[in-house]
Every structure is written in C-alpha cells, then in structure tokens.
Amino acid sequence: MSQIYWYQDRWLPADEVRISPEDRGYYFGDGVYEVFRVYGGKLFEADAHFARLEKSAAGIRIRLPHSTEVLKRRMEELVRRNGLQEGTVYLQITRGEAPRSHLFPRDADPVAMAYCTETKRPIAAMQTGYKAITAEDVRWLHCDYKTLNLLANVLAKQEAADRGADDAVLHRGGTVTESSASNVMIVKDGSLITHPANHLILHGITRAVVLRLAARAEIPTEERSFSVHELLAADEVLLTGTTIEVMPVIEVDGRTVGTGVPGPVTRRLQQEFERVIHA
Ligand code: PMP
C-alpha cells in the first residue's frame, strides 16, 4: 500500500509531496517536530506529545497552523488512512517558505507535514541491552525544545556507531544530561536517578511515564543531575524514549554495567511499561 502523507492539510501519496527549497526547515533547521508511538492503532500519550509540541513551537516563536485538538484529529486520521497498527508517526512544522534570511519572514505560513512508519518495537535489543559510549554534550541550551536542529545529536549517534556502540550518553563537563535520542536513568542502591527536567534535556514523554510507573511500583526516584563517574559506577543504566521504550544499557565506554545483563529494576520497569501499552 502506498504511504499517505499529511502535507499542508492535504492527504497525498509520498511521491506527490513537494517540499520547497525555500522551506526554512531545509536551510535553518527552523522547525519543531514530534515522534509518536502507535500501539494497537492508537497514538500513545498523545496529549503529552501535543503539549510538548506547543511548548517547542512557542519556544522558537512558531505559530502552529492548527490547534492541538485539530492536529490530534489529523494524526489519528493519518494512522487510520495508512492502516497502521504498530509503528510511529512523525510530525514536523517549520516556520515556512521564504527567501533565505535569518529574520523571520513577514508573511510566510508555517509548513506542516506528517507521515507514519511501521517501525517495530525493538524487542530483541530490549532483552539484551545497548552498548553506549560517552560524549561531550555540545548542543545549545534549549534542549527542552524539540527542534529540527539535531546536528550535535547526529554526530554523537554516528560516533557511537563508528565505535561499535548503539548510542552516546551525553555529558556537560562530566554531568550526564541525556543520550543522543533518549533520556538516561541510572539505578544506584535501588533508587532510580535521572537528570531534572530543565533546559538541558528534552522532557521525554517516556521519561515521565517511567517515573510515574516507578513511583507506583514504590521504586524511589530522584530527579537530580549525576556525573559520568556515577554513571560508570551505577548498578543499572537505562534509556527511555518513544521508539526504544525502556532500553537497558549493559556497557558504557567498554566497561560492564552492573553484572552485564539488564538489571532487576530495569526489567521491572519494562514489565510495567508493557502493561501500560497493552492497556
Ligand atoms: N532526548 C532526546 C534528545 C530525544 O531526541 C528524545 C526522543 N527520541 C528523548 C530524549 C526521549 O523523548 P520521548 O520519550 O518523548 O521520545
């Protein structure tokens, strides 16, 4: 079946979507986006994603072309039109099309586009765990906005792959922030520790779900910064994200985490997460 895109509030086959070379997303990365998980044909945590989209758009002063209620209905229709049961939805909104100039264009309208993929849940990796490297976090200071400017993330992820790892855990001068495409948590003496939700990290939807699940399971949680040293000495390390869900990390910079297999707190959180997505 040919993939149906949502582009400028129209439904188009993929090969009929035409992005302008003057789209500011193209030359400035001047836009925001969201990635949603679809389970059983339904958008997971949709309201939280739309709230974050509103925050990201406001943060870089982009006017959303529709209310989040309308956007939600469109994304639900996208899933329906594509007959998607399990996968992801990618939604992107750029500032618009205009001749290249750093200044905001006066009368350009935002450009909105969305499509879905059949990306499967990473079941095998969730059982064996990821290998990670550490890398300096060289991003700007508004990592809480989900913008198209992902060059530092791209470089970190590629460095991980070049070194035979799955992801890069980022740190600012030795303080762990998040990973190239997910949030990072450690377990130490039974407590689940993760960076506070401030401007230095993306406020992950999965992070919030996992913190809620941990609280409900009476696992102590601490939202505080922690160092690379603590990361390397942790009993367990895990990543959270829309596509990777709750992903154990079994090796960091070639050093074994804990016993080298996904730990009990991580596995418990995976079970609780599994329950939520099947609910
Ligand atoms: N941090 C970064 C840098 C990300 O790109 C993502 C999204 N993949 C996350 C954290 C996790 O956020 P979420 O759980 O909302 O997918």
- Residue 113 Cα distances to 62, 124, 163, 231, angstroms: 15, 31, 34, 38
3-state DSSP assignment of residue 55: helix
- Looking at 62, 93, 117, the residue that finishes a domain is 117
Residues 33 and 68 in one domain: yes
Write the DSSP string, 141-186.
S-TTS-BS--HHHHHHHHHHHHTT-SEEEEEETTEEEEESSSEEEE
**Domain count of the fold of the chain:** 2
Residues 81 and 209 in one domain: no
- Looking at 75, 98, 117, the residue that finishes a domain is 117
Q: Residues of 46-67 as b/e, b for ≥16 C-beta within 10 angstroms? A: bebbbebbeebbeebebebbee
Ligand 1 centre to CA of 103 (Å) is 29
Ligand 1: lining residues by beta carbon, under 6 Å = 153, 178, 181-183, 202, 204-207, 240-242
- Looking at 76, 97, 117, the residue that finishes a domain is 117
Indicate whether 248 pLDDT > 90. Answer: yes
Q: Which amino acid residue places its CA nearest to atom 12 of ligand 1?
A: 204
Instruction: State the helix-helix crossing angle for 46-59 and 68-81, rounded to 10 degrees.
Output: 130
Output the domain CATH number for residue 145: 3.20.10.10
3-state DSSP assignment of residue 85: coil
% of residues, the chain, pLDDT over 70:
99
| Catalytic residue of the set 120, 146, 157, 188 | 146
Residues 213 and 243 in one domain: yes
Residues 144 and 273 in one domain: yes
Mutate to test the pocket of ligand 1, among 89, 153, 202 (most ligand atoms within 8 A of CB): 202
Report the nearest atom of ligand 1 relative to the CA of 209: 14
Q: How many residues does the chain have?
A: 279
pLDDT-derived band at 1 (thresholds 50, 70, 90) equals low
Mutate to test the pocket of ligand 1, among 44, 155, 183 (most ligand atoms within 8 A of CB): 183
Mutate to test the pocket of ligand 1, among 130, 176, 242 (most ligand atoms within 8 A of CB): 242
Q: Does residue 242 contact residue 185 with C-beta atoms inside 8 Å? A: no
Residue 72 falls in the annotated catalytic set: no
Q: pLDDT digit string (tens) for 153-196?
A: 999 999 999 999 999 999 999 999 999 999 999 999 999 999 99
Q: pLDDT digit string (tens) for 44-91?
A: 999 999 999 999 999 999 999 999 999 999 999 999 999 999 999 999
Q: Which domain holds residue 264?
A: 123-278
* pLDDT for position 279: 87
pTM of the model: 0.98
* pLDDT for position 85: 97
pLDDT-derived band at 97 (thresholds 50, 70, 90) equals very high
Give residue for tokens 């941990």.
214
